[in-house]
Amino acid sequence: MTINKNMLYQRLMFIKYHLEHLERVSAIQREGFVGTDKAAAAESYLRRTIEAMFDIGRHIMAKSGALELAQEYKALAKSLKDYRVIDEELGHKMVKIAGYRNRMVLCR
């Protein structure tokens, strides 16, 4: 099992970049946010962050030989928990995050 450290680093930097943008957007008052391009940008930053998180998880699971478990976001989160890559608490949070990401994509 050879983890691609360069890929993981790139994904982590990608996540950091988008989280910094989300932090700036979070300071905007509701009136200047709802119904604006800022809201759409925040949604994009959040979705991209979530997807990068799951890219990391998918890579780890694929390298463990569990390719069939690395396809769908919720299943991936459960697999990461079951294989003890992440703890129970984070596993449950990631399942919820996966569901939220799926709703964001479906509601477009």
| Count: domains in the chain | 1
Express each pLDDT in 4-19 by its tens digit.
Answer: 999 999 999 999 999 9
CA distance 53 to 61: 13
Quote the pLDDT of residue 89.
96
What are the tens digits of pLDDT across the range 57-108?
Answer: 999 988 887 766 556 899 899 989 998 999 999 999 999 999 888 888 877 6
The phi, psi pair for 65, rounded to 5°, reads 95, 5
Identify the pLDDT of residue 70: 53
Q: What is the pTM of this model?
A: 0.86
Domain span holding position 18: 5-106
Of residues 69 and 29, the one with the higher pLDDT is 29
